[in-house]
Amino acid sequence: MIIVFFVLAFVAVGCAISMLITRNAIYSALFLVLNFATVAILYLILGAPFIALSQITVYAGSVIVLFLFVVMLLGAERLPGGEPLRWQRFIAMALGLVLAVNLGLAITQQAGDLGMLAAPEKGFGAPVEVGRVLFSQYVLPVQIVAFILLVAVVGAVVLSRSEEISHRRELYRKPEAKE
Amino acid sequence: MVPASYYLILSVVLFVLGALGVLLRRNALVVFMSLEMMFNASNLAFITFARMYNALSAQVVVFFVMTVAAAEVAIGLALMVEIFRSKRSVDIDQMNTLKG
Amino acid sequence: MDYTLILLTFSPLVGFLVLLFLKEEQKSALRWVALLTSLVTFGLSLWALAQFRMGEGGLQLVFDQPWFRLSGSQITFAMGADGLSMLMVLLTTFLTPLALLSTWSAVQERVKGFMMFFLLLETGMLGVFTAQDLVLFYIFWEFTLIPMYFLIGIWGGERRIYAAVKFFLFTMFGSVLMLLAILYLGLTSGTFSLSELTHAREAFAGAQVWLWLAFALAFAIKVPMWPLHTWLPDAHVEAPTAGSVILAGVLLKMGSYGFLRFNLPLFPEATLQLAPYMAALAVVGILYGAVVSFAQTDVKKLVAYSSVSHLGFVMLGIFALTAQGLAGSILQMVNHGLSTGALFLLVGMLYERRHTRQMSAYGGIWKVVPVLGAVMLFVSLSSAGLPALNGFVGEFTILLGSFSSSTLGSPWFAGLGALGVILAAVYLLVMFERVFLGPIKHAENLSLKDMNLREVLTLLPILVVILWIGLYPSFFFNLMNPTVSQLLATVQTAAMAIR
Amino acid sequence: MPLSTANEILPAFQAVPWVVFFPLIGLILNLLFGKRFGEKFSGAVASLATLASFGVALSLFFALQAHPEGASVPFLQWIQVGDFVVNWAFRVDTLSVTMMLVVSGVGLLIHIYATGYMHEDVRHNGDPGRYRRFFVYFNLFIAMMMILVSADNYLMLFVGWEGVGLCSYLLIGFWFEKGKDGIANAQAAKKAFIVNRVGDFGLLIALFLMFQHFGTLEFAGVFEQAPVLAAATPGVLLAMTLFMLLGVTGKSAQIPLYVWLPDAMAGPTPVSALIHAATMVTAGVYLVVRSTPLYSLVPEAQTVVMWVGALTAFFAATIAIAQFDIKRVLAYSTISQLGFMVAAAGMGAGVAAMFHLTTHAFFKALLFLAAGSVILGIEAGHARAHAHTDEHGHDDFDPQDMRNMGGLKDRMPLTFWVYLIGALALSGIAPLSGFFSKDEILHAAEKDHLAIFWILLITAFLTAFYMGRQLVMVFGGTVRTRAAGAARENSAIITLPLVGLAILSALGGLLNFPGSWGLEHWLEHTLEGIQPSEFAPLTALISVLVALGGLGLAYAIYAVIQPLTDYRQPDPLTRLGVLWRGMANKWKVDELYHAIIVRPYEALAHFLASPVDQGVIDAVSGGLAWLSVRAGEGLRVVQNGILRSYALLIVLGVAAILSYLIWMR
């Protein structure tokens, strides 16, 4: 089992690093899909099949597709010019290291032994179970999230209709104050 | 049988890599992707905890995070398109109108 | 539970909502709605007065509901009025319609916004005077700031932005320290309700002086006391007429009201300890304001500096801590609102006619505008404290009270303060002479129009009340006397207990 | 001092508020309807209001005959705060009713005179619309003066005190666009009000001291407790009386605050007669006499009062000698005569002071009104003379300059005769009224204060001298200008009040005629412990001789030795050199005050307004603002607009906090 984990972890981290390094945004998106997929498998292992499938459909399926669309639409695969903030690279990496070490230490040293993760009980994380929790205990947040999604849809539509927006902006521009 | 801390450490590594992506990349779209990866890393931690404590609530939270992230991507990308229309670039360093 | 004050305080918001649905172009409708709303509010305040039992000193018409908790401390939605609050409420509701009436011709642009801000301001002011919970008070206190900021900043004169920002920053600076003090008080005592805090004074007795100072700074800036007054001339000169009227008439009173409402009952020992210093500052303010007024060439600035002098009297009376001093101060707060409000209205009328406030642009115009001149003289004399007009009753009782005050311990405060009576006559008569007397020096002044009916209607109520207070102030004194004696008793017993 | 309680006040006394209300009603009627019904209405209403007031005063007078102890008539509660209670309450006693009679009586005659005089005056000054305004002010003055004299407490007295000051302000500045440079009248008005305010400040402090130590401002209460205070802390009582004296010097134009009165002659002549000669300026004397119970307890204060009065009397008389303006001579004479009264009040001779106050009201009002008649005559003459010779004339013609007059005796005979009566009365020639009253003051001084006696005697000489000079210059000698030549007697409405006042001036001595001592017995009921007056034939003889000497000397110099023949001719007294220049320039007191008070105050005001207020105090807040702007500018480097840098800082913060949490705990 631990071997499966290490393989998946290696793929996930590799994809993440590749996404970071590659200069082409399309490649980045593709590496990200791979990363998401590996993590989805980990979710399965951890007894969260519903979430794993959501991950595949929502993230890998729609979000990344959206990304790809936009990248291609804008033609923004590559950016011209070099890195203007060269010094920031080193600081960022150093900080990243600090963060990682700190968190790692916190997990390994300070949290004590977190124990092993055995195979999940049967039925844990099944869509039925998740659904039951979701629509009983969390019914209000679900509504709110639904509303947020609606707002996002409306917002995205409004934002894309740019001509009309600029027209209305003209309409609302206040006249200069007197004197 | 994998120690729980391994998952968490993987989550940390992914998170830090995402953060580095935000810090290092100039392409606003890639920055965005890095953000998604950070979400993903934290989701992983949540799922791990759900497993550890047999708590379905953590899975529900992940579900919410994913939903909101989707919404955020929709808006964010729309904004990006709008910005690209005026700036003709997705270079995040050029979006500095709010310079003090 | 009495809903009168709630109704009263929030009634301007009804007009505000109606205004929302009107269009910018419907100017006269906007004006009428605002005016009628303020008149209704005035009517409500009279109704509140009718329910008010004159002989009692404590809070009446109390509305008290638990609101929310902050770190375990209860915040209440508490409103109530005693004689002091009642007078201030009446002053506010009385001046607001008159100020609105003065905008009929003065405000032509963005009428809708102006009226909306004005009604918001009225709600804020009424809230300040009726709130009986520190947090609620603070909310209303800050709430008044914003409409006034916009009134100055949008409808003001040439340097309106500078003046508005200065006004905002000065007041904000003081309020922040007050907020800290309020939080300290509330969190140490477990309640923000003023009446409960007054009873649980021991809890914060150790920090009294610091708390007192934090409150005092906020109030002293608002009053304004010398040397924190420099925002006032700028704000007054740049503000539109109606804004100046309300600023001078009501907003400044929030400062002195704060001293009476919070500093005195909450920290009586510190009050006693610091009273001579405050009185000294007040006397400096009286003389300084009067002297500086004399040197002004701009009528509005002159009136603004005269406020510093007049409010000096108010502060002197408060810190004399005698019945006469306190009652005189409260009356003088009303007086100043009326006289200075009327002066600003008159200056605004002059400005509308000639578009300048420089005294050198006038001279001899009493011949052309006899009614305006007579009213100006009347109001100036009331401001200068001529007996049988309102200013005298206030100033005299204040000086009388502070002269024999045992807290101040010296007649010098009142003695020097009384010099302000001479100086007030000097600057006001000089102003009157430069503007109205002598020969007409500028040809354009020959065709000035005298007051029209609307302008007469704007000022007439003020003139009537000026005369009323001057000749028969008993009504006002009877309204406040029980409150004053209660306040005085609080301070004195606390002082005894400490000693 | 017996004081009736509220429930046993005589009905006759209850009418006392009407002495105030009648003029107020007249005022309101004039305000409302005066414009519609015209001049006749205005004048009639105002005069009738004053007449009604006089009638009430008379009824009070007769009521007092039966009950001379008087009463205090409460009217309305005014101020009540804590232990401080003041009411609108009226005092009816012999002293206040005497003042009421003088004010309304003389006031009535002057009102009648003014209906005629102002008719001419408003036309001469080119604004007939102001006729009504004049009578509004005049009635307001009567009302305020009545409040002053009928007050039952010091605060109400103070109301009247400042109220008459206001009327004085309004009436001096009645022609506010006239005078030198068009502003002199307005400035004179302002000066009067402000100088009076300085005096009022003193009175205010006195009131505060009273309340502090007596707890009341009512006459009765104050006088009752005064002896206790005098025994305990005489210093306080001294301070109180001296501060009160400051008020007196303001209102009654004594040194050092007399400077406003000569300028106050800018008002129309009836104003000068009523306010600045007969009534308002005597309010100070009334105050001292009313406060006799206080002053009698502190001899030091009495001494000061006495000397102030005597010195003022002398000082003003010297200035009066060298004036050419007919009204200015009378103004300085008024100051001088007020000095007599104040000195008398200071000596404790309250009756003498009141007696002189009354007779002075008669003859000085007469003199002013007659002077007004002269001025009208000269103005009319000037108009007539230049109407048919040359159109323009010389614009700087001053109808009040005595050098422009001369020989009016034949042209205005009635005015001459009444003026002569007034002048002789003022000079103290027996048996006119001034003789008796001045003699009483001199006699009182002779008994205890010899220095004062000599000063006053010299002043009496000077008085006779300048009145003689004036008589000769105005009425005697040759006609010096065409205007004077064309002057004619005025109409009856103007001359009739003159005759009335002339009769009063002539017979006023009967009020306190030696032997009967009517006024003294009358005032005895109010003023306790006054010493009985007596007639000293020797003093009387000396004073008459001195007065005759003064008049004779004036006649000798101005009519015999060097008669004036031309209006450009210098005054014969210029030979006195420095002394003359000093007198003619009013000893430069105005200039002195200007240099040591007005100028420094202006400089201080400008210094405080510009360098201090805008420069220093505002700069502190401005400096704070500047500091925060600077700090902001320094820190804005961090806000470079590059999102990734912000993100870097966020991560830095997260790393720092994490490190702290993990390593430091």
Which one is predicted more confidently, D26 or D2? D26
Number of structural domains chain C divides into: 1
A91·D648 Cβ contact <8 A: yes
User: Does residue B39 fall inside a structural domain?
Assistant: yes
What distance lies between CA D313 and its chain's CA centroid? 15
Instruction: Tell me the count of B-D CB pairs closer than 8 A.
Output: 35
Spell out which residues of chain C touch residue D614, defining contact as CB-CB under 8 Å.
230
> What is the pLDDT averaged over residues A14-32?
90
pLDDT band at D154 (very low <50, low <70, confident <90, very high): very high
What does the pLDDT look like over D9-19, one tens digit per residue? 778 888 888 99
Q: Is D636 on the interface with B (CB under 8 A)?
A: yes
Spell out which residues of chain B touch residue A20, defining contact as CB-CB under 8 Å.
17, 20-21, 24-25, 34
Q: Is B75 on the interface with A (CB under 8 A)?
A: yes
Q: Provide the pLDDT for residue C139.
A: 92
Does C411 score more than 90 pLDDT? no
pLDDT band at C499 (very low <50, low <70, confident <90, very high): low
**Residue C182 and residue C189 in contact, taking contact as beta carbons nearer than 8 Å:** no
For chain A, domain boundaries: 1-78
A95·D658 Cβ contact <8 A: no
pLDDT band at D392 (very low <50, low <70, confident <90, very high): very low
Q: Provide the pLDDT for residue C388.
A: 86
Spell out which residues of chain A touch residue D651, defining contact as CB-CB under 8 Å.
92, 95-96, 99
Does A175 score more than 60 pLDDT? no
Does A170 score more than 60 pLDDT? no
The model's pTM: 0.82
Which one is predicted more confidently, D573 or C179? C179
Radius of gyration over every alpha carbon of chain B, rounded to an integer in angstroms? 17
CATH number of the domain enclosing B76:
1.10.287.3510
pLDDT band at D342 (very low <50, low <70, confident <90, very high): very high
Number of structural domains chain B divides into: 1
DSSP, residue by residue, C340-373: HHHHHHHHHHHHHHHS--BGGG--SGGGT-HHHH
Percent of chain D with pLDDT over 70: 97
Spell out which residues of chain A touch residue B40, defining contact as CB-CB under 8 Å.
35-36, 39, 59
Specify the range with the lowest mean pLDDT, choosing from A77-86, C9-18, C310-319, D443-452. Answer: A77-86
What is the span of the domain harbouring residue C491? 267-499
What does the pLDDT look like over B87-97, one tens digit per residue? 788 888 777 77
- Helix, strand and coil content of chain B, in percent to the nearest 5, comes to 80, 5, 15
Ramachandran class of D529: left when φ > 0, alpha when ψ lies in -120 to 50, beta otherwise: left
Q: Is B26 on the interface with D (CB under 8 A)?
A: yes
Spell out which residues of chain D touch residue C320, defining contact as CB-CB under 8 Å.
none
- Chain B residue with CA closest to D648: the answer is B23
A179·C154 Cβ contact <8 A: no
Does C256 score more than 90 pLDDT? yes
Specify the range with the lowest mean pLDDT, choosing from C53-62, C171-180, C258-267, D383-392. Answer: D383-392
What does the pLDDT look like over D24-82, one tens digit per residue? 999 999 988 888 888 889 999 999 999 999 999 999 999 888 888 888 888 888 888 88
Q: Provide the pLDDT for residue C398.
A: 92
Specify the range with the lowest mean pLDDT, choosing from C429-438, D389-398, D439-448. Answer: D389-398
Q: Provide the pLDDT for residue D4.
A: 43
> What is the pLDDT averaged over residues C300-308?
92
Q: Is B22 on the interface with D (CB under 8 A)?
A: yes
Out of D644, D645, D652, the one facing A95 most closely (by C-beta) is: D652
Closest-CA distance of chain C to residue A167, Å:
21
> What is the pLDDT averaged over residues A95-123?
80
**Residue D307 and residue D451 in contact, taking contact as beta carbons nearer than 8 Å:** no
Give residue A49's identity as a one-letter amino acid code.
Answer: P
User: Does residue C150 fall inside a structural domain?
Assistant: no
Q: Which of A87, A99, A102, A109 is the best mutation test for D, with the most CBs of D within 10 A?
A: A102
Out of D640, D641, D648, the one facing B23 most closely (by C-beta) is: D648
Q: What is the mean pLDDT of chain A?
A: 83
Subunit partners of chain B (3 or more CB pairs within 8 A): A, D
Label the pairing between strands B2-3 and A116-117. Answer: antiparallel
Structure tokens at A123: 């039925």
Q: Provide the pLDDT for residue D646.
A: 85
> What is the pLDDT averaged over residues C298-314?
92
Q: Provide the pLDDT for residue A172.
A: 54
> What is the pLDDT averaged over residues C356-378?
89
Subunit partners of chain C (3 or more CB pairs within 8 A): A, D
Subunit partners of chain D (3 or more CB pairs within 8 A): A, B, C
Which one is predicted more confidently, B86 or D152? D152
ipTM confidence score: 0.75
pLDDT band at A179 (very low <50, low <70, confident <90, very high): very low
> What is the pLDDT averaged over residues B22-47?
91
What does the pLDDT look like over A97-107, one tens digit per residue? 998 988 888 88
What backbone torsions phi and psi does residue D397 show, to the nearest 5 degrees?
Answer: -65, 125
Q: Provide the pLDDT for residue D393.
A: 46
Q: Is A165 on the interface with D (CB under 8 A)?
A: no
**Which residues fall within 8 angstroms of residue D388, CB to CB, at 6 or more apart?**
none
Spell out which residues of chain A touch residue D642, defining contact as CB-CB under 8 Å.
85
Which one is predicted more confidently, D610 or D307? D307
**Residue C289 and residue C228 in contact, taking contact as beta carbons nearer than 8 Å:** no
D655·A110 Cβ contact <8 A: no
Does B12 score more than 60 pLDDT? yes
Task: Say whether the B–A interface has 3 or more Cβ pairs within 8 Å.
Answer: yes
Structure tokens at D76: 């309305």
Spell out which residues of chain D touch residue B93, defining contact as CB-CB under 8 Å.
642-644
What CA–CA distance (Å, rounded) separates A19 from B25? Answer: 10
Q: Provide the pLDDT for residue D391.
A: 46
- Chain A residue with CA closest to C110: the answer is A177
Q: Provide the pLDDT for residue D395.
A: 57
Q: Provide the pLDDT for residue B100.
A: 61
Virtual torsion, Cα D574, D579, D580, D583, nearest 10 deg = -170
Peptide bond into C370 cis (omega under 30): no
Helical packing angle, D450-475 and D299-321, nearest 10°: 30
Does C102 score more than 50 pLDDT? yes
Q: What is the mean pLDDT of chain C?
A: 90
pLDDT band at C346 (very low <50, low <70, confident <90, very high): very high
A117·B70 Cβ contact <8 A: no
Distances (CA, A) of D326 to C248, D174, D371, D404: 49, 20, 7, 10
DSSP, residue by residue, A137-149: TTHHHHHHHHHHH
**Which residues fall within 8 angstroms of residue D179, CB to CB, at 6 or more apart?**
D185, D186, D187, D188, D266
B19·D641 Cβ contact <8 A: no
Does C429 score more than 80 pLDDT? yes
Does A160 score more than 90 pLDDT? no
What CA–CA distance (Å, rounded) separates C315 from C329? Answer: 7
pLDDT band at A171 (very low <50, low <70, confident <90, very high): low
DSSP, residue by residue, D405-460: ---HHHHSHHHHHHHHHHHHHHHT-TTSHHHHHHHHHHHHHHHH-HHHHHHHHHHH
B63·A130 Cβ contact <8 A: yes
- Nearest Cα residue to D18 out of D150, D186, D190: D150
Q: Is A88 on the interface with D (CB under 8 A)?
A: yes
Q: What is the mean pLDDT of chain B?
A: 88
Does D224 score more than 80 pLDDT? yes
Task: Say whether the C–B interface has 3 or more Cβ pairs within 8 Å.
Answer: no
Q: Provide the pLDDT for residue C283.
A: 94
Query: B residues 16-55 near A, CB within 8 Å?
Result: 16-21, 23-27, 29-30, 32-34, 36-37, 40, 43-44, 47-48, 50-52, 54
pLDDT band at D525 (very low <50, low <70, confident <90, very high): confident
What does the pLDDT look like over D438-456, one tens digit per residue? 888 888 888 888 899 999 9
**Residue D519 and residue D404 in contact, taking contact as beta carbons nearer than 8 Å:** no
Spell out which residues of chain A touch residue B36, defining contact as CB-CB under 8 Å.
32, 59, 63
Which one is predicted more confidently, D564 or D414? D414
Query: Does the domain formed by A1-78 have CATH 1.20.120.1200?
Result: yes
What does the pLDDT look like over D198-214, one tens digit per residue? 999 999 999 999 998 99
Q: What is the mean pLDDT of chain D?
A: 87
User: Does residue B64 fall inside a structural domain?
Assistant: yes
Spell out which residues of chain C touch residue D83, defining contact as CB-CB under 8 Å.
323
Does A76 score more than 80 pLDDT? no
